Amino acid sequence: MTSAIERARALPIWAGPVDPEPLGGGITNVNFVVNDGGRRAVVRIGEDIPVHQVMRFNELAASRAAHAAGISPPVLYHEPGALVIGFIEGRTLAAEDVRAPGMLERILPLVARAHREIPRHLRGPALVFWVFHVIRDYAATLTTDGSRHAPALPGLLATAERLEAAVGSIDLAFGHNDLLPANLIDDGARLWLIDWDYAGFNSGLFDLGGLAANNGLSPDQEAWVLETYFGRPPDPTLWRRYRAMKVAAALRETLWSMVSEIHSELDFDFAAYTDTNMAAFRAALDAFEQS
């Protein structure tokens, strides 16, 4: 932590001496809030993470495009391993906030706008985030690196194959691909979507499924999300494709945590996080198999 603080403190963007304050919530980067002569900023310290397919050039490009689309705060400075963005005075959401009456009516338009508008502003090389490739790659990493979860992987991979077939052909959108509630900030007037580590072209169904899986949406809320996003009541085919992607989103988050158990150096209880996500995956899988 000391070296990360020193790195944040030494960035050449500051007008004078600063005292970075650790910002909780991040489980991919080390984050700080900096008060620079009355201007507040967030510093994200983190190198590429190939094991999670996180490439910082991609995060930078997506962050800039998201700001241009009116979805995220501005990028104030960057250098390899460090990204400085504008600080949003607001409240970070929790899952219960996402489920609260009226909140999805604010979240979904923001997500849909990201899908449509960010590609109009994106510059340079772009990544594709295909969840089934990510799942296969995570499984290979867990096998190679001797994870305690290795015995479960053949069954999980077989499930992933069934899910990929059920999703079928897709329409490409630009996905956030990490719709945890902590990546949404309410400033009292509007919502902001932050943290573009995993951004890339994908099916919009992945963000919709991730939104549901990560926040415990009810079936009625899921039906509203699908009807509103697609402009029509979901038919059985759409429901099945969506439920398959929702299971895949939960499985990806579970495998992400399994890999983090053996690769992350951050102070976080990844084993407990794995258990939580495995429960969400099992629940989503049960709903899919009953559909």
- List pLDDT tens digits, range 28-60: 778 999 999 989 999 999 999 999 999 999 999
Residue 265 pLDDT greater than 90, yes or no = no
Q: What is the DSSP letter of 233?
A: P
Predicted confidence at residue 291, as pLDDT, reads 80
CA pair distance 266, 256, nearest whole angstrom: 14
Class of domain 91-290: alpha beta
Range 200-219 average pLDDT: 95
**Contacts of residue 69, Cβ cutoff 8 Å, sequence gap at least 6:** 113, 114, 117, 118, 120, 121
Are the beta carbons of 50 and 257 closer than 8 angstroms?
Answer: no
The angle, 0 to 180 degrees and rounded to 10, between the axes of the packed helices 204-215 and 270-290 is 110
Question: How large a percentage of the chain has pLDDT more than 70?
Answer: 98
Q: What is the DSSP letter of 54?
A: B
Domain boundaries, the chain: 2-86, 91-290
Domain 2-86 matches domain 91-290 at the CATH topology level: no
CATH of domain 2-86: 3.30.200.20
Using CB atoms within 10 Å of the CB of residue 41, give its burial: 0 to 12 exposed, 13 to 18 middle, 19+ buried. Answer: buried
Q: Which of 128-132, 170-174, 264-268 has the lowest mean pLDDT?
A: 264-268
Cβ density class 129-159: b for 16+ within 10 Å, e for less? bbbbebbbbbbebbeeeebebeeebeebbeb
pTM, two decimals, is: 0.93
Residue type, 284: A
Residue 35's DSSP bridge partners are 40
Q: Which of 12-26, 86-100, 207-221, 271-285 has the lowest mean pLDDT?
A: 12-26
